[in-house]
């Protein structure tokens, strides 16, 4: 795409090939430092996102016409998506990066956090939460898998574009927190997300908006 901004040489996460659980405080610090990624989707990341569609060339054509456009992509082919309330989602992402294997791409969208996960996670995670009896503490996730679709954020912010609209077009309702930057990114599976959810619920109090109203184990507000 001719309008793609110059590459900022991002620091990639530590998980491209073999994610490993972090045990020592030193490696945990390195994990936290390595979480900073590209501020926008790279060309390789765009290829990965487009591969979710049965018509990837059409997706690329849409982005070529308007790189700041959000696009609806199906789940269950390249990724599943787990959606949780924003405050809990940020704690979950922090847990995955500080004490766990890291995360795949993560987006913020209309008061929620979208975690891109391995195919099959949307089907298995709710059952794991029920089996472990953690649903009372963990905000019920919205799990998008095969047959579902999600709107992904724009490839990069409008203000990075060299266009007359850059100063007048309002910001998008969604944005990348961890932008896709690899053609074959590592994605957390249901076990990794279960572990992260439990840790996030155990280690920090939940906001009232995070906790189901029917919970008998509601955590104190942040």
Q: What is 146-191 written as a DSSP string? A: TT-EEEEPPSS-GGGS-SGGGGTSPPPSEEEEE----SS-----HH
Split at pLDDT 50, 70, 90, the class of 204 is low
pLDDT cut 90: percent of the chain above it: 48
DSSP secondary structure, the chain, as one string:
-TTPPPP--PPPPS-SS------SHHHHHHHHHHT---SS--HHHHHHHHTTSS-HHHHHHHHHH-TT--EEEESSSS-EEEEEEHHHHHHHHHHHHHTSS--S-EEEETTEEEEEE-TTHHHHHHHHHHHTT-TTTSPPPEEE-TT-EEEEPPSS-GGGS-SGGGGTSPPPSEEEEE----SS-----HHHHHHHHHHHHHHSPPPTTTS-TT-SSPPPP-
The answer on pLDDT for 38 being more than 60 is no
170 close to 68: Cβ distance less than 8 angstroms: no
What is the gyration radius of the CA atoms in the chain, in angstroms? Answer: 18
For 70-102, how does the pLDDT look when each residue is reduced to its tens digit (9 = 90+)?
899 999 999 999 999 999 999 999 999 888 788
Whether the predicted pLDDT of 25 surpasses 70? no
Mean pLDDT value across residues 100-111:
90
Rounded CA gap, 19 and 13, in Å?
10
Is the pTM here over 0.85, yes or no?
no
pLDDT-wise least confident of 16-20, 38-42, 91-95, 97-101: 16-20
Q: Return the higher-pLDDT residue of 156 and 63.
A: 63
Closest CA to 22 of 216, 170, 217, 196: 196
Domain spans, the chain: 25-158+170-203
What average pLDDT score do residues 189-193 get? 95
Using one digit for the tens of pLDDT, what is the confidence trace for 157-183?
655 544 444 444 444 478 999 999 999
pLDDT at residue 108 in the model: 93
Average per-residue pLDDT for the chain: 75
Two structure tokens written together for 83: 């959606």
- The two beta strands, 71-74 and 80-85, are unpaired
Residue tagged 């269950």 (tokens): 76
126-137 pLDDT per residue, tens = 999 887 677 788
């Amino acid at each position: 795409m001719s309008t793609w901004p110059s590459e900022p040489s991002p620091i990639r996460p530590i998980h491209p090939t073999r994610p490993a659980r972090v045990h020592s405080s030193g490696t945990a610090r390195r994990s936290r430092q390595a979480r900073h990624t590209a501020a926008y989707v790279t060309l390789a990341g765009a290829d990965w996102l487009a591969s979710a569609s049965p018509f990837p060339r059409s997706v690329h054509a849409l982005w070529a016409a308007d790189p700041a456009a959000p696009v609806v992509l199906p789940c269950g082919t390249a990724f599943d998506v787990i959606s949780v309330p924003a405050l809990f989602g940020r704690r979950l992402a922090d847990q995955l990066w500080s004490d766990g294997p890291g995360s795949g791409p993560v987006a913020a969208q209309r008061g929620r956090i979208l975690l891109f996960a391995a195919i099959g996670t949307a089907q298995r995670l709710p059952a794991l939460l029920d089996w472990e009896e953690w649903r009372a503490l963990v905000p019920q996730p919205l799990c998008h898998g095969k047959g579902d679709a999600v709107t992904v954020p724009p490839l990069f912010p409008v203000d990075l574009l060299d266009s007359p609209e850059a100063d007048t077009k309002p910001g998008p309702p969604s944005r990348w927190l961890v932008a896709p930057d690899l053609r074959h990114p590592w994605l957390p599976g249901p076990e990794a997300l279960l572990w992260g959810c439990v840790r996030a619920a155990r280690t920090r109090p939940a906001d009232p908006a995070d906790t189901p109203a029917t919970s008998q184990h509601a955590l104190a507000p942040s």
